[in-house]
Structure 1
Amino acid sequence: MKKIMLTAMLAAFIVSCQSDEGQPLTSGNDPIAVGFTLIGDGELMGDENITGSNLVIDNEADWNALKTQMDLFNPYSQYFTETDIDFSAYKVIAVIDELRTSGGYDITIASITDNDGQLVVDVENSNPTEANVTTVMTQPFHIIKIPNTDLPVVFE
């Protein structure tokens, strides 16, 4: 009887120690959320002549050029949570919507994920409801910073 129990325990031990090599715990394809910090968002008035675009800024000169262009008629950057960025540690991502002929539009960076070796920036646009429409030119923007990385950035 002791031999049977010893054999059963040894078999259970061997089975429980089997290697899962070749079977990763995760698929490797699961997107990983990337944290970001809001720098600023709002609406330009259209006089700044900024083309609607998705920007990845990795140096101070480009960052200063964007702030200067945004501040051409109104001091938008004074409302940013920060304006001095350490580009050795961070990148700035800015999404600027196209010029709209009415108010109520919005653009938002909803999330950023590391997905198969690239950063995927999920940009959401919302249209005005009838109650929110104004007859003023607007150009929504959303600006964040992320930890510095060499991964390519894709906007969706």
Structure 2
Amino acid sequence: MKTQSLIVLFLVFVMSCKSNQNNVEMKTVKSVLIAKGNLHGAGSEGFTKENSVIDNQSDWESLMARMNKVNNVSESFTETKIDFSKYAIIAVFNDVKGSGGHSIELNISTTSENTLVTVKYISPSGNATSVMTQPYYITKIPKQNLPIVFE
């Protein structure tokens, strides 16, 4: 009987811990899409699969210069002048792919402890063009005093 009581108490404890973890309040962060698409330099732009947080003008200009190495990609950005006292840039790049149709989607939310950027890499379904591409996604979010975590 004592063993059964201990098991029940243990299960109640474990379930209460799990329910507390699930009660973390997550709020969606309003982001502004600056650009998404594919680089077509077959990797010559120098990006690997990477996630970046840009919080100053110098790094922003450096990113745009790298992206423009083969094609003037930044001319299609919705904006290039960023007020870094109010905003930060999230830039995500995937690996170079051997075909078209690949893309990236982001979901950005915040808790009391961090800003969480969930990255979803999307592959083509069905036939795709036979051209080397490198998907990217760049967005602007309000500056916060929370660490930014990618998953």
- Whether TM exceeds 0.5 here: the answer is yes
Q: 1:49 and 2:46 equivalent? A: yes
Q: Where does structure 2 lack aligned partners over 5 or more consecutive residues?
A: 1-21
Which deviates more from structure 2 when the two are superposed, residues 88-97 or residues 112-121?
112-121
Separation (CA, whole Å) in 2 of partners of 1:102 and 1:112: 28
Separation (CA, whole Å) in 2 of partners of 1:42 and 1:122: 18
RMSD: 1.4
Which residue of structure 1 aligns with residue 73 of structure 2? 76
Pick the structure with greater CA Rg: 1
| Cα contact 1:36–1:144 (8 A) shared by 2 | yes
Written as runs of structure 1 = structure 2, the 5 A alignment for 1:31-46 is: 31-45=26-40, 46=42
Which residue of structure 2 aligns with residue 59 of structure 1? 56
Q: CA deviation at 1:28?
A: 6.9
How many residues align? The count is: 128
Which residue of structure 2 aligns with residue 119 of structure 1? 115
Identity fraction in percent: 41
Which residue of structure 2 aligns with residue 7 of structure 1? none
Q: CA deviation at 1:120?
A: 0.5
Separation (CA, whole Å) in 2 of partners of 1:49 and 1:90: 25
Which residue of structure 2 aligns with residue 147 of structure 1? 142
| Cα contact 1:94–1:142 (8 A) shared by 2 | yes
Separation (CA, whole Å) in 2 of partners of 1:124 and 1:147: 21
Separation (CA, whole Å) in 2 of partners of 1:31 and 1:59: 27
Pick one of 79, 86, 91 that aligns with 1:89: 86
Separation (CA, whole Å) in 1 of partners of 2:89 and 2:66: 16
